[in-house]
Amino acid sequence: MIDVLIAGAGPNGLMLACELALAGVRPVVLERRPTPGGEPRANGLVGQVVRLLDRRGLYARLSGESSPPSPQPAFTFGAFPLDLTVLADNPHYVLGVPQAQLEAALVARAAELGVDLRSGHEVVDLHQRPDAVEVCLADGTQLTARFLVGADGGRSTVRRLVGIDFPGVTDDRSVSRTATVTVPASFLDPATGGLRVPGYGVVPPFQHTRTPHGLVAWAPFPGRPALLTTTEWPDAPTSDDAPMELAELRASVARVLGADLPVGAPDGPGLLRRLTGRNTRIAARYRAGRVLLVGDAAHVHPAIGGPGLNLGLQDAVNLGWKLAATVRGWAPPGLLDTYETERRPVAERVVMSTQAQSALIGPGDEITGLRQLFAELLRLPEVTGHIAGLMSGADVRYPADPADPLAGRSAPDVVVHGDHGPTRLAELTRTARPLLLDSTGTYAETAAGWRDRVDVVTGPLEGTTATALLVRPDCFVAWSAGDADTLRASLTRHFGPPSA
């Protein structure tokens, strides 16, 4: 019997597979596509997920840099520029890699960990037993697994087959057009990388430029074709039947900016995409018996602000250690159910953020007035800090002891000064095992009964005022220095009873 079957080999399914493999569970990943899809999708990672990738040793692979990630000095929210340099503690990180590169890195990592990845295998039916899930594939193959995870996107077959509703709203008023393009050199602003459009002015790079008629985004990615996107709210419905052409995008730019921008096609394959409407939905349940949902199978939302991979990949890491603990038999009662209780509120918060931004970029003079007020608010550093925490996911706190100021929050980037010199937390978490960081050397005896599951690292801690931290595999704090009784209670609550 297979321990865990994962339907979908996108970033979320692959990340979950790697997490399970690190925890000693060998999953099987099924991907209906015979080969990876070539269409460009996400263009980078935004938020605390960049720190998470560093803590699994993947940041250096993706960025090509040996140094840790640094916060982004600026970003955008609802087509407003955000100056993040005003923040004493900037939580916003960005890693500009296309989704195809991320998937390739995760496929390579999964192979290193011994994950069984099977392409060209499509799930078409499933049946649950008390102890297993029976899965039928399109070619007639029958597989049996202890658990099945649907990581198969917003139109999830697994979600449909297991009967989980997907309530929400579909807004069909907007039309977005995106293409990889070239523009004449005379339209490029060498100082900023933006576009100089006669009759309008400068369109800055990597931001949303809003006018009363719509939205334009210009993204001149280094080493690959630039992306140009528009969003409009037309009075009449737009058909998606006819393929989009560059002339359609050029006409859209002219309507939004009130000025013409000549665009051409890049050498080689390019992207031409029209999307009508937006979906905002969250699954009624993240779990039905032995079937669970992760990533877009559990939630979909507008892409504005780029929160999708930040949300989905952290879903996978939250679920991974809990599912592995359940498979291996040491999970305390109810641990697997905390996947939904912890991650659903995060999805709801992302939905709120993307809906708010969608409203702020809308057309019309009323929205222009709202934006003038919002621009005044953004001059306050505390407002900028609040939005930065919202967009990056740094404001996430899972249910925890309210008397413990760090519990339930993402672990700080501490450095442990041990016998072999300073070691970053990101170097200690690459095994995805729970960690007890102890600057006093007095807690190891308390944690002795959990040494088969929890690693203990002693030495002075830099980067935190806590004298000890119990860090979960997903790099959230389970406990920060209290007495031996509270540590023992936290170890039991998160990692089960001590071994005999």
CATH of the domain at 236: 3.30.70.2450
Tell whether 401 is covered by a domain: no
- Whole-number pLDDT of residue 191: 85
% of the chain beyond a pLDDT of 70: 98
- Whole-number pLDDT of residue 493: 96
- Whole-number pLDDT of residue 268: 77
Number of Cβ atoms within 10 Å of the Cβ of 214 = 23
- Whole-number pLDDT of residue 38: 54
In the predicted structure, residue 98 carries a pLDDT above the cut 90: no
Rg of the chain taking only CA atoms, in angstroms: 24
Please report which confidence band the pLDDT of residue 326 belongs to, taking 50, 70 and 90 as the band edges. very high
In the predicted structure, residue 11 carries a pLDDT above the cut 90: yes
pLDDT digits (tens, 9 = 90+) for 383-419: 999 999 999 999 999 999 998 999 999 999 999 998 8
Last residue of a domain, one of 229, 247, 278: 278
Same-domain status, 58 and 179: no
- Whole-number pLDDT of residue 345: 97
Please report which confidence band the pLDDT of residue 485 belongs to, taking 50, 70 and 90 as the band edges. very high
Lowest mean pLDDT among 49-58, 72-81, 229-238: 229-238
- Whole-number pLDDT of residue 385: 96
Give me the residue label for tokens 């709202």.
370
How much of the chain is helix, strand and coil, in % rounded to 5?
Answer: 30, 25, 45
Instruction: Work out the average pLDDT over 259-284.
Output: 89
% of the chain beyond a pLDDT of 90: 80
Spatial separation of the C-alpha atoms in residues 461 and 470, rounded to whole Å: 13
- Residues of the domain holding 455: 409-495
Same-domain status, 48 and 152: yes
Tell whether 400 is covered by a domain: no
Query: Do residues 291 and 158 make contact, with C-beta atoms less than 8 angstroms apart?
Result: yes
Spatial separation of the C-alpha atoms in residues 42 and 252, rounded to whole Å: 22
Last residue of a domain, one of 227, 262, 278: 278
Same-domain status, 312 and 385: yes
Same-domain status, 342 and 267: no
Instruction: Work out the average pLDDT over 269-290.
Output: 91
Rounded (5°) CA angle 113-120-284: 80
Tell whether 399 is covered by a domain: no
SS3 label, residue 123 = strand
Phi, psi at residue 215, to the nearest 5°?
-135, 145
Q: What is the CATH number of the domain that holds 43?
A: 3.50.50.60
Which among 149, 157, 125 is positioned nearest to 138, based on CA atoms? 125
Which among 354, 341, 215 is positioned nearest to 279, based on CA atoms? 354
Tell whether 344 is covered by a domain: yes
Same-domain status, 160 and 12: yes
Per DSSP, the residues of 265-287 read PPSS---EEEEEEEEEEE-S-SE
- Structural element, H or E, at residue 61: helix 59-63
pLDDT digits (tens, 9 = 90+) for 174-219: 899 999 999 999 999 888 889 999 999 999 998 889 998 999 999 9
Rounded (5°) CA angle 151-156-161: 110
- Whole-number pLDDT of residue 41: 67
Tell whether 500 is covered by a domain: no
Tell whether 449 is covered by a domain: yes
Same-domain status, 237 and 319: no
Spatial separation of the C-alpha atoms in residues 233 and 243, rounded to whole Å: 19
Helices (H), 163-234: none
Residue 53 exposure: Cα atoms within 13 Å on the Cβ side: 33
Q: Full-prediction pTM beyond 0.85?
A: yes
Phi, psi at residue 217, to the nearest 5°?
-130, 130
> Which residues, at least 6 apart from 97, have a Cβ–Cβ distance to it below 8 Å?
44, 45, 62, 63
Same-domain status, 288 and 162: yes
pLDDT digits (tens, 9 = 90+) for 416-470: 998 888 999 999 999 999 999 999 989 999 999 999 999 999 999 999 999 999 9
Same-domain status, 102 and 226: no
In the predicted structure, residue 236 carries a pLDDT above the cut 70: no
Tell whether 113 is covered by a domain: yes
- Whole-number pLDDT of residue 418: 84
Phi, psi at residue 29, to the nearest 5°?
-110, 125
Spatial separation of the C-alpha atoms in residues 307 and 77, rounded to whole Å: 11
Give me the residue label for tokens 């029209």.
274
Please report which confidence band the pLDDT of residue 278 belongs to, taking 50, 70 and 90 as the band edges. confident
Q: What is the CATH number of the domain that holds 455?
A: 3.40.30.120
Same-domain status, 333 and 368: yes
In the predicted structure, residue 237 carries a pLDDT above the cut 70: no
Same-domain status, 195 and 234: yes
Last residue of a domain, one of 362, 392, 422: 392
Same-domain status, 151 and 177: no
Strands 415-418 and 421-424: antiparallel
- Whole-number pLDDT of residue 323: 98
Tell whether 12 is covered by a domain: yes
Q: Can you list the positions of beta strands (E) in 316-447?
A: 415-418, 421-424, 435-438
Rounded (5°) CA angle 297-348-334: 70
Mean residue pLDDT across the chain:
93
Same-domain status, 361 and 214: no
Please report which confidence band the pLDDT of residue 36 belongs to, taking 50, 70 and 90 as the band edges. low
pLDDT digits (tens, 9 = 90+) for 119-147: 999 999 999 999 999 999 999 999 999 99
Number of domains in the chain: 3
